[in-house]
Amino acid sequence: MGSMPTSHFSGLVAPPRDEIFELLGAFRRDTFPDRVNLGAGVYCTDEGEPMPLQVVREVETAMYEKADPHRHDYRAIEGDAEFLALARDFTFSTACAADRITSVQTVSGSGANHVGARFLAETLRPRCVWLSNPTWANHELIWQTVGVPIRQYPYYNPDTRAFDFEGMMATLEAEAEADDVILLHACAHNPTGLDPNQEQWKAIGALCQRKRIFPFFDNAYQGFASGDPDRDAWAIRYFAQLQQPALEMVVAQSFAKNLGLYGHRAGAFHVVAAGDGCTEGARDAVMANLAQIIRSEYSISPRYGSDIAKTVLGSKVLTAQWYTELQTMSSRIISMRQALYDELVRLGTPGSWVHIVDQIGMFSYTGLTYPEVKYLREKYHIYIHSSGRVSIAGLNTKNVKYVASAIHAVRSNPDAVPSA
């Protein structure tokens, strides 16, 4: 009897697993009653439970009662035209003419980022893409898969725990070239929670104009960051209205966080053209190229989440209700930042913690080291990303003192923390 043939896959090397999902799995397996999940970016109530928005629940009820016989039908490859027009206007408002923008529906923000990266890789053919250091880990993976070399611009200064605007500008001034892509977080930078101010955004826009750097905005938290969708879209709208020369740019948009549609994958990708790229023929060509990419990957996007988003955005009453809920969510995040900061200060925890309240959005770059994070996980059952990034949404009035006391214990007794 002959030996078993060698498998084609026997020598396959497993890539690193996604840390956020590994943390989530470990948290769910943990039976410690006071365990705390500060890894996953999912909004929770003060009781630590998921919070479907009331406006979403009302829309779901109406959809169920309507029982539209077409609710399971295929849609066009490019997506639902009504949803896309509403999503476009939610992002851009009146910052630029609608005939400059070509939009397609995507599988949430991750899908929009990937469709966009592949589209630019195949059409613009950039020398490289500039990503902030640090950035959302999936940005790197997505651009690697489309074969575009990655460069990094400074963003976070670990000494000051602040946005490194000077380092960013100096690096791009010295090293960026025409038609390089730069990925920018529209608001609530992930993972640092640090955003440029409006004057800094203006300087970044002027640099992109002068050096002909191509902006790619990731718009994942509009309305969720500050509670004001217009404020959170300021940078995108400012770039879109720039003239002499007008900027061409793209935007990846998600409704996962701001509508709580995490698992329903409602997103869009927008291409903003200028000059002769605004003609009907040019827009049709952009749409055809995007549709071909989508067809080759997943054919069409899910419709349930986009139906909810379309219904909310298409009603002034529901939109007003949604905006009230956005303010409630963002206010709770801000209050949890303040509570964590206040408790660390009250305890006299070594180090400066003011950066926690200076940051914005769901995440905070705490400055905790990997050995500290590992020790917090093993001894206190507090699950934090190895970078020290915490999801503020995982804090509540019942666990914030426990988290602060654990951080205080770690910082006050560094000799107890094993080195990595």
Residue-wise pLDDT tens digits, 62-84: 999 988 888 888 889 999 999 99
Distance CA 120, CA 148 (A): 9
CA angle 233, 238, 241 (to 5 degrees): 125
* List of residues 6+ apart from 18 with CB closer than 8 A: 137
Each residue's pLDDT tens digit, 188-237: 999 998 999 999 999 999 999 999 999 999 999 999 888 899 999 999 99
Domains of the chain: 19-52+331-411 (3.90.1150.10), 74-314 (3.40.640.10)
d(CA 260, CA 42): 8
pLDDT digits (tens, 9 = 90+) for 272-322: 999 888 899 999 999 999 999 999 999 999 999 999 999 999 999 999 999
* Separate counts of helices (H) and strands (E) for the chain: 15, 13
For residues 300 and 79, the answer to whether their CB atoms sit within 8 Å is yes
Helix or strand (DSSP H, E) at 370 = helix 370-380
Kindly tell me the burial class for residue 284, based on how many C-beta atoms sit within 10 Å of its own C-beta (0-12, 13-18, 19 or more): exposed
User: CA-to-CA distance for 384 and 369, rounded, in angstroms?
Assistant: 11
CA distance 134 to 152: 8
**Strands, E, within 205-336: which ranges?**
214-219, 249-254, 266-272
Q: Which amino acid is at 282?
A: A
- Among all chains, which residue has been given the structure tokens 């090293």? 175
Across 69-73, 123-127, 133-137, the highest mean pLDDT is recorded for 123-127
Tens digits of residue pLDDT in 3-48: 666 888 888 888 888 888 888 888 899 899 999 999 877 888 888 8
Name 101's bridge partners. 272
3-state secondary structure of 256: coil
Q: Residue 105 forms beta bridges with which residues?
A: 268
pTM of structure: 0.92
Residues assigned a catalytic role:
136, 218, 257
Alpha-carbon distance of 321 to 88, in angstroms, equals 20
pLDDT computed for residue 415 by the predictor: 74
**Separation of alpha carbons 204 and 209, rounded Å:** 9
pLDDT of 2 reads 60
